[in-house]
Amino acid sequence: MALMINSDCINCDACVEECPNGAISPGEEIYVIDANKCTECVGHYEKSQCVKTCQADCIVPDPAHRESKDQLQAKYQQLSLSAA
């Protein structure tokens, strides 16, 4: 399942650099996560780095983008091929 940033975001910018897929960017009011790029760090780390770093505890699973670990791994592999 991709992650999302809820309205508790304090715009601290800490999560942006932690995302290995470049999925986090500034939105109109708070940071946003591109579900097409978010793999919850599958393929990179055991735990989601943005969640680990978030000072406001505002990064949560996105119910609109439910994905299994296998689906996240496949997305990671596709993103890796696109970047190469």
Specify the pLDDT at position 4: 98
Q: How far apart are CA 44 and CA 28, in angstroms?
A: 28
pTM above 0.75, yes or no: yes
83/28: higher pLDDT: 28
Count how many domains the chain has: 1
Encode pLDDT of 22-79 as tens digits: 999 999 999 999 999 999 999 999 999 999 999 999 999 999 999 999 999 999 999 9
pLDDT at position 82 is 84
Q: CATH code at 30?
A: 3.30.70.20
Domain range spanning residue 39? 3-83
